Structure formats: structure tokens, C-alpha cells
Amino acid sequence: MDVPLLDLRAQYRSIKEEVDAAVATVFASQHFILGPVVVECETAVAAYSNCDHAVGVSSGSDALLVALMAEGIGAGDEVITTPYTFFATAGAVTRLGATPVFVDIDPESFNMDVTALAAAVTPRCKAIIPVHLYGRMADMDPVMQVARDHDLVVIEDAAQAIGAEYNGRRAGSIGDYGCLSFFPSKNLGGAGDGGMVVTNDAERAERLRVLRVHGGKPKYYHHVIGGNFRLDAIQAAVVAVKLRHLDAWTEARQQNARRYAALFAQSGLDGQVTLPAETDDRHIYNQYILRADRRDELMAHLKDAGIGCEIYYPVPLHRQECFAGLGHGEGDFPESERAARETVAIPVYPELSGDQANYVVEMITAFYN
């Protein structure tokens, strides 16, 4: 049996007619950059995220960058985030000349350890970027409390978390900005790169709209320096179609997670793998992450058995060569380092069949036996 980590072709087969028609409409219009299709997509994503405004941008990475730019963050400023995330979270900070300040993760949720947050704030700190990793939201109440206490901006990295909830509130709607990614492997993926910033602040939304067109307002008159952060109409058309299916896909991912929990409970394994922690919040399972004994050997075994699996992320950001200048060493963020050593993502995509899930758990059980 072959079980990929993600099967976008299966997804496309299920929505081919809708996607093809939406893309054909864009071609017929020959209006490829921004325009009415992008506005429609923005309106739909804003509503889905329970936000008043959404600004389509060129990627999730640029969503983070333009949100930081909208706050004027740059040289001399510090921004707090975690070292256990995709590179873009901290990359956006350093690209603007600011300094990422890391706090370790909570080992259960893989998200920012909020008990370590207040101690990381210095007079130079301007913002916090909580990351909702793997589709589970960070513990936002304490994040917002620290932000209020120290007058900090909160930029939610919701690239893996569209539609996830914290106490009933959607990802991106709690902080000052929420940054979404439409990278194809995200739960709501386009046909290439794309992203969006959601916000409940009209003035911030306007700043983002100006910055995404090189700061020109009106066109060719620049009071600020922005960039080309535009979303294109083909991405918006595809994303708008897929958004109509997102809740069904999320339910399928959650059902797969429940199936794994039941199968592992019956597997007879004795602590060799630890499943994702339960939560009452809406977890959208962008990834299903196991902590596993002898992780690398297990992965080799799964790959031999035709099962896709991957490490997110093998090197925490404080150990990346390009951040050597921050002066961190091994042991500085032990939970992030342990997660990088122990975790592996197994398939949880919506189209995964019951037979495939059975097979994955059988092969993991066989490995330890």
C-alpha cells in the first residue's frame, strides 16, 4: 500500500470542475493581479476568520513581513517568537533588521510557552509573533495580557491554522494581525504561492493595502516604501473555491486524528509513541505529529513500507547557521531541541482512507514489535 504524507491529486480530483471553471474565468478576463476575484477571496477569508478585513498578499512569508512593516518594525527592535517553527516566522523579523527573541515551546502543544513570555520582554521589544503550529492555536489569553502590559503588537502566525479556534475565536482574529499562507500543502492551499493578512483594524488594513503595492497611494505617488506583495487572481480564484470545502476537509482531518487515537490505543504499544495532546479547542491538524522512540529508524521503516512521513522541523531556528550571530547554543531552548529530535509527521490529509490509517498504525506497531 502507498500512503503519501499529503495527496493533493486526490483533492484536485474531487473539485476539478469547480477549480477549472474558476481558473478559466480568470483567463477569460485576463485580469491577473489583484482585482475583483482577489477582493471576493478577501471578503470570504475575512468572514471565515471572523475578521473585518483581509488583504491578499504574495505568500505567508510576505504576510508576516508586511505586517511587521506596517508597524514600522526595524533595526534596534526586538520581536518575540519561538525557535520551533517554519523559518519564515523569524526570517521576516531579521529581513527588516530587527532581532528575533526566542522563547521555548510548551512540549504538549508545541506552541509558545507563555509562562516564559513576560521575562523575554525588554524595552526594545515591539511585537510578539505567536505561531499556531500544526493547526493548534497558541495559548492566546496570556499572550494578549503580556502584549497589553507592555504595549506590544501581536502578529499571529496562522499560516498552519486557518479556521482553528481558541475559546471559540478564530485564528488571526485575536491579535492585531493574523497571517495566513496559501502554500499548496497548507489546509487551504492555492495553485502556487499566496497568503493573506486578516485584521479587525481598518486603519491597519489600509496600511497593508498601500504597502503591498510599493507604498503607492495614489499609484505612482509614494509616501512610504512598500514592496510587491500582491496576490494574483488565479490563486484567489482557487483559494475561494477551496474555502467552500475547507470545513468538510477539516472534519475529515479531525476524524483521521480520532481514528489514529483509537487505533494506537488498541495497538498494544507501550509508550513508544506519544500522540498529539487532546484539546477542547478546534484543532485543524495541518500536521499530525508523533513523538517517537528511535524516530529516525522508525521513519526509515515507514518509508520502506511506502508511508510518507517528515520531520517538521529538524533544526530549531536558534541552531540555524544564519542565526549564529544571535549567540545561542545547544541547550538554550531544550523543548524545541527535543521536539526537533523526537517528532515525526504522519499522514492526516482529508482523503486518507480508513484502510490507509490502519496500515500506518500497523506498520508503526510492527516496527516496535
Ligand X SMILES: *Cc1c(COP(=O)(O)O)cnc(C)c1O
Positions of E strands within 264-322: 273-274, 288-292
Does 82 participate in binding ligand X (rule CB under 6 A)? no
Does 257 participate in binding ligand X (rule CB under 6 A)? no
Min. distance of Cβ 161 from ligand X in angstroms? 8
Exposed, middle or buried: residue 40 (CB in 10 Å: 0-12, 13-18, 19+)?
middle
CA atoms within 13 A on the CB side of 273: 29
Stretch that binds ligand X, among 4-12, 84-92, 290-298, 332-340 (CB under 6 A): 84-92
Q: Say which DSSP state 216 is in.
A: B
Min. distance of Cβ 188 from ligand X in angstroms? 11
CB atoms within 10 A of CB 355: 10
Which residue in the set 49, 50, 89, 199 belongs to the binding site for ligand X (CB under 6 A)? 89
Residue closer to ligand X by CB (options 69, 357) is: 69
C-alpha span between 305 and 307 (Å, rounded): 6
Which residue in the set 49, 50, 61, 200 belongs to the binding site for ligand X (CB under 6 A)? 61
Closest-CA residue to 100 (of 114, 88, 115): 88
Does 336 participate in binding ligand X (rule CB under 6 A)? no
Does 316 participate in binding ligand X (rule CB under 6 A)? no
Stretch that binds ligand X, among 58-66, 224-232, 325-333, 357-365 (CB under 6 A): 58-66
Stretch that binds ligand X, among 48-56, 82-90, 146-154, 313-321 (CB under 6 A): 82-90
Does 88 participate in binding ligand X (rule CB under 6 A)? yes
Which single residue is written with the C-alpha cell 492551499?
189
Which residue in the set 160, 336, 343, 356 belongs to the binding site for ligand X (CB under 6 A)? 160
Min. distance of Cβ 30 from ligand X in angstroms? 25
Sequence-separated contacts (24+) of 32-35 with Cβ below 8 Å: 32/232, 32/233, 32/234, 33/230, 33/232, 33/233, 34/230, 34/231, 34/232, 34/233, 35/233
Of residues 120-159, those binding ligand X (CB under 6 A): 131, 157, 159
Residue closer to ligand X by CB (options 158, 305) is: 158
Stretch that binds ligand X, among 30-38, 80-88, 199-207, 210-218 (CB under 6 A): 80-88
Provide the mask over 207-246, with x wherever binding to ligand X is found by CB under 6 A and - wherever it is not. Answer: ----------------------------------------
Which residue in the set 48, 84, 86, 313 belongs to the binding site for ligand X (CB under 6 A)? 86
Does 287 participate in binding ligand X (rule CB under 6 A)? no
Amino acid at 126: K
Of residues 173-192, those binding ligand X (CB under 6 A): 181, 183
Q: Under DSSP, is residue 129 helix (H, G, I), strand (E, B) or coil?
A: coil
Q: Say which DSSP state 330 is in.
A: T
Kindly state the cell numbers that stand for 213.
503595492
Stretch that binds ligand X, among 81-89, 110-118, 215-223, 252-260 (CB under 6 A): 81-89
Residue closer to ligand X by CB (options 135, 226) is: 135
Closest-CA residue to 127 (of 86, 161, 87, 177): 177
Cβ distance 196 to 231 under 8 Å?
A: yes
Residue closer to ligand X by CB (options 240, 357) is: 240
Q: What is the DSSP string of 133-202?
A: GGG----HHHHHHHHHHHT-EEEEE-TT-TT-EETTEETTSSSSEEEEE--TTSSS--SS--EEEEES-H
Which single residue is written with the C-alpha cell 484567489?
236
Q: What number of chain residues touch ligand X (CB under 6 A)? A: 15
Residue closer to ligand X by CB (options 216, 227) is: 227
Residues engaged in binding ligand X (CB under 6 A):
59-61, 85-86, 88-89, 131, 157, 159-160, 181, 183, 193, 195
